């Protein structure tokens, strides 16, 4: 249960004010809060299911430090692409 709370808090804080939250806010103005909420919850559930599954599989094959560094580099790459107007 401690691990679940830790993951919840980390993800909750990380997601505050991010693009997904702002997109959900925008969709809510057009489609209402229920449809925006349900659509975003379903999308995030599927994305996170894929991430959790792949993390579980890759975690047995690669060192955790390598996975974390790779994720960090991807985060930076996406940020740079957004800043450059490519995404």
pLDDT digits (tens, 9 = 90+) for 25-78: 999 999 999 999 999 999 999 999 998 998 888 888 989 899 889 989 998 998
DSSP string, 1-18: -HHHHHHHHHHHHHHTTS
- Residue 83 DSSP code: H
pLDDT average, residue stretch 6-19? 85
Q: Residue 76 to residues 7, 8, 15, 35, 82: CA-CA distances in angstroms?
A: 22, 23, 16, 31, 10
Distance between CA atoms of residues 58 and 22, nearest Å: 31
In the chain, how many domains are there? 1
* Per-residue pLDDT at 30: 95
Instruction: Provide the pLDDT for residue 19.
Output: 81
Q: What is the pTM of this model?
A: 0.63
Please give the residue range of the domain that contains residue 11: 2-83
Output the pLDDT for position 59.
Answer: 83
pLDDT at 13: 85
């Amino acid at each position: 249960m401690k691990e679940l709370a830790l993951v919840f808090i980390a993800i909750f804080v990380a997601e505050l004010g991010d693009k997904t939250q702002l997109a959900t806010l925008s969709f809510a103005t057009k489609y209402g809060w229920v449809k925006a909420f349900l659509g975003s919850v379903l999308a995030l559930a599927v994305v996170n299911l894929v991430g959790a599954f792949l993390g579980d599989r890759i975690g047995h094959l690669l060192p955790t430090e390598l996975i974390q560094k790779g994720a960090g580099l991807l985060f930076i790459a996406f940020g740079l692409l957004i800043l450059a107007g490519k995404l």
